[in-house]
Amino acid sequence: MPKLIVVTREGEERELDGADGHSVMEVIRDAGIDELLALCGGCCSCATCHVHVDPEFAAKLPPMSEDENDLLDSTSDRNEYSRLSCQLPFSAALDGLKVTIGAED
């Protein structure tokens, strides 16, 4: 099973089992990491699932949509590796993907 590495806001690193067909947000939520709120449930209408993607994996991710880009503009913690985890499909091709949960706005 592919692994997703999540760094919490406190700096704790957790290795999670992910499954094809789930988003990065769903893998994190299903693991019980509550600081990733994902208030909209994954329909790309908020920025509460904001993560910073490890630069090593940035090129392996699907392009950012205009909606995702606009929503990320609402967060003060945005950087060049910011993504909404609900918009990142997880698969074996992303085994070892490391994300850091964005700061709470």
33 has a pLDDT exceeding 90: yes
- CATH code for position 22: 3.10.20.30
- pLDDT bin (cut points 50, 70, 90) of residue 20 is confident
What's the mean pLDDT in 27-48?
94
Question: Could you report the per-residue pLDDT of 72-97, keeping only the tens digit for each?
Answer: 999 999 999 999 999 999 999 999 99
Could you give phi then psi for residue 91, rounded to 5 degrees?
-155, 175
Q: How far is CA 78 from the centre of its chain?
A: 13
Nearest residue to 18 (alpha-carbon basis) of 35, 31, 36, 37: 31
Residue 98 near residue 3, CB atoms below 8 Å: no
Domains in the chain, number: 1
105 has a pLDDT exceeding 90: no
pTM for the structure as a whole: 0.95
Quick one: pLDDT at residue 19? 87
Report the C-alpha dihedral over residues 13, 86, 23, 51, rounded to 10 degrees. -20
Could you tell me the residue range of the domain that residue 39 belongs to? 3-101
